[in-house]
Chains A and B, each alone.
Chain A
Amino acid sequence: MEILYTLIILLPLLGSAIIGLLGLLSKPFSRQEGLIGAIGTLSVAIPFVAVVLAFLNFDGEAIAIPLFTWMKAGQLTISFHYSLDQLSLLMMLVVTGVGSLIHIYSIGYMKNDPGFYKYFAYLNLFIFAMTNLVMGSNMVVMFLGWEGVGLCSYLLIGFWYKDMLKANAAQKAFVANRIGDFAMLVAMFMIYRDLSVEGAEVTFSYKEILAHNFGENTSWIAFLVFVAATGKSAQIPLFVWLPDAMAGPTPVSALIHAATMVTAGIYLIARMHPVFEASPEVLTIVVIVAALTAIVAALTAIAQNDIKKVLAYSTVSQLGFMFMALGAGAYTVAIFHVVTHAFFKACLFLGSGSVIHAMEHMHTVEDPQDIRTMGGLRKYMPATGTTFWISTLAISGIIPLSGFFSKDEILASLYFHGAGFDTYKIIWAVALFTAVLTAFYMTRLTILTFEGEERFPKEQKTPHESPATMTIPLWILAGLAAVGGFMGLPHFTHLNWLGHEWLDKIIENNHHIHEHAEEAGLGLEIGLIALSAILAIVGVLYARNFYKKYGLEGDLRIERSLGGLYRAMQGKFYFDEFYQRTLIGPFTWFGQNVMSWLEENVVDGAVKGVSEGVASIGEVFRRLQSGLITNYVLIVSLGALGMLTYLIFG
Chain B
Amino acid sequence: MAAEGGTVEELGGRELPPLRLERKLIREAQRGSRDALADLYAAHWSQAHRAAYLVVHDAAAAEDIAQDAFLAAVDALDRFDRRRPFAPWLHRIVVNRAIDWARREALRRKLDDPDSLAEPETSPDAVGGELMEILAQLPPEQRAVVVLRYLLEYTPGEIARMLGLPRGTVNSRLRRGLDRLRDLVEVEG
Q: Do A and B bind each other?
A: no
Q: Which residues of A are in contact with B by a Cβ distance under 8 Å? A: none
Q: Which residues of B are in contact with A by a Cβ distance under 8 Å? A: none
